[in-house]
């Protein structure tokens, strides 16, 4: 197939020459609209399967560009590496990101102790550069793997990261590609692995121009965020190529050690060779080729051990997966909550089963789901499941975003931390948990469209309909909601 050996997006070749490649079967004509250092339009050549390409002269790293569709619409590159002016602005050519990865070869998965953080709220500055100053403390704590919530370009400067619309571009307000490169290098210098959260189940709503380029979406399925990504329909080979190339981009160019795949249960795919299995195989092959330990770790609410089962045994071959059941069993016991999905938990036997078998629901009837749920997980090794007493979802997807310490007190929060750390599984700590942070972690966005902001507000209220939590959700669009979610280190005297 055309271009399989070439890279999507803009690739600097040296000597002032840059190659551009974009998949765009929808428009009849695609041109390269170059900005600084001199505005011009360059014709692109159409190849098989809707790929357009061009090699432009006098284009150095730092040059900005759009793709001009049908001579009418300037749009950023779907595979843009950097968006200095945000999701609606021009893309920017960058040079080599990481030529030398040093001697770091990664850690065994069994040695992972995760620390999940949100770059924008982890420090008052909210940048990758400022986060580097905290790495020594994490290493001293005993953390071995720093997990970043998504850093792909989202609209504005405040977002959890799951509204990303340009999956290859490192968020400009976090510092862009150079900042992520340095962050990874500094982590590795302290023997810390880096885990990056990536989102392959949907695109965010604002700045989402993907459908103007290609058939990225499927009308056959719906997800909580709208139309599903097209992983099994016409043109799905090219969609798969886009996301697999994205996964390998973080691994090859930034030397990220593992990818956390968001909500793979929302990836709809009925093909005989599923995208997820193909993705896991690509990551595994890269690990072997690079001589580094590299992992792919999905989040799923299906309680399906097949995700981590070997391909030769009919599984997908992922290295580990998140286990919400452990959290739910522990949380329901410690807080007494029984609404929403917590209605399926609350007895000590649930926590016992979580410790013994991994999942709690392994084919039993779930009152919350009103159907049987899960599959037998007894053969799943402990090092294949990631457990936690708090994370961004379980804290942030509450009405008021309360942490466990606020709900149940300091001593109970310590007990929960011990239950996680001493479990036979891979433990995850949520930022601030280690020193008893009481600041909430609330949901925030910085969309520009008033109609979209109102839809987000309404959607948040509907999301809590099955729970008995009191209060009105904080305004996601308010800067105060964001500021409130920055944990202040004022509670260390408690520990």
Q: CB burial class (10 A; 0-12, 13-18, 19+) of residue 313?
A: exposed
The conformation of residue 150, written as its DSSP 8-state character, comes to P
Helical packing angle, 275-290 and 236-253, nearest 10°: 30
Residues comprising the chain, all counted: 495
Element (H, E) at 460: helix 450-463
The pairing of strands 371-373 and 45-46 is unpaired
Could you please report the per-residue DSSP string of 378-435? TTS-GGGEEEES--HHHHHTSSS---HHHHH-HHHHHHHHHHHHTSSSEEEEETTGGG
Which residues are catalytically annotated? 262, 299
Residue 38, Cβ neighbours under 10 Å: how many? 8
DSSP assignment of 239-308 equals HHHHHHHHHHHHHHHS---EEEETTGGG-----SS-HHHHHHHHHHHHHHHHTS--EEEE--SS--GGGT
Q: Nearest CA to 144 among 326, 293, 329?
A: 293
Supply 214's token pair: 């290609």
Query: Are the beta carbons of 322 and 386 closer than 8 angstroms?
Result: yes
- Distance, CA of 50 to chain centre: 28
Gap between the Cα atoms of 270 and 274, Å rounded: 7
Q: Do 36 and 47 meet the contact criterion of CB atoms below 8 Å apart?
A: no
Angle of CA points 473, 479, 485, to nearest 5°: 65
CA atoms within 13 A on the CB side of 204: 28
């Amino acid at each position: 197939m055309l271009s399989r050996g070439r890279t999507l997006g803009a690739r600097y070749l040296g000597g002032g020459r840059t190659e551009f490649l974009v998949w765009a079967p929808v428009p009849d004509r695609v041109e390269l609209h170059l900005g600084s250092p001199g505005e011009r339009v360059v014709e692109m050549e159409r190849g098989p399967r809707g790929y357009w390409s061009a090699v432009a002269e006098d284009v150095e790293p730092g040059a900005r560009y759009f793709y001009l569709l049908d001579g009418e619409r300037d749009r950023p590159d779907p595979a843009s590496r950097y968006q200095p002016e945000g999701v609606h602005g021009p893309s920017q050519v960058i040079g080599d990101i990481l030529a030398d990865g040093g001697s770091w070869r990664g850690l065994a998965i069994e040695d992972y102790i995760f620390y999940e953080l949100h770059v924008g709220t982890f420090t008052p500055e909210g940048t990758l550069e400022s986060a580097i100053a905290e790495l020594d403390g994490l290493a001293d704590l005993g953390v071995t793997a720093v997990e970043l919530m998504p850093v792909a370009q989202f609209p504005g400067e405040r977002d959890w990261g799951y509204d990303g619309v340009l999956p290859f571009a490192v968020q400009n307000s976090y510092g862009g590609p150079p900042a992520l490169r340095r962050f990874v290098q500094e982590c590795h210098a302290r023997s810390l692995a880096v885990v990056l959260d990536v989102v392959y189940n949907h695109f965010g709503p604002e700045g989402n121009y993907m459908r103007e380029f290609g058939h990225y979406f499927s009308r056959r399925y719906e997800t909580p965020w709208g139309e599903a990504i097209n992983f099994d329909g016409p043109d799905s080979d090219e969609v798969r190529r886009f996301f697999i190339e994205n996964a390998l981009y973080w691994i090859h160019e930034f030397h990220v050690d593992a990818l956390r795949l968001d909500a793979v249960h929302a990836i709809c795919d009925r093909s005989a060779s599923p995208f997820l299995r193909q993705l896991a195989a690509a990551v595994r092959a890269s690990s072997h080729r690079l001589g580094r330990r590299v992992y792919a770790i999905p989040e799923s609410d299906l309680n399906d051990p097949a995700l981590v089962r070997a391909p030769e045994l009919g599984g997908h071959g992922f290295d580990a997966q998140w286990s919400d059941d452990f959290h739910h069993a522990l949380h329901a016991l410690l807080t007494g909550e029984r609404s929403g999905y917590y209605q399926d938990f609350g007895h000590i036997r649930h926590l016992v089963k979580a410790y013994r078998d991994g999942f709690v629901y392994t084919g039993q009837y779930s009152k919350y789901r009103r159907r049987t749920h899960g599959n037998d997980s007894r053969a799943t090794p402990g090092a294949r499941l990631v457990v936690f007493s708090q994370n961004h979802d379980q804290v942030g997807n509450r009405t008021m975003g309360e942490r466990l310490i606020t709900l149940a007190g300091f001593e109970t929060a310590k007990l929960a931390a011990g239950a996680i750390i001493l479990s036979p599984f891979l433990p995850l700590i949520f930022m601030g948990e280690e020193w008893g942070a009481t600041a909430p972690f609330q949901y925030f966005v910085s969309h520009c469209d008033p109609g979209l902001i109102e839809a987000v507000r309404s959607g948040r209220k509907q999301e809590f309909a099955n729970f008995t939590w009191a209060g009105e959700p904080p305004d996601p669009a308010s800067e105060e909601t964001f500021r409130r979610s920055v944990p202040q280190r004022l509670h260390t005297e408690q520990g």
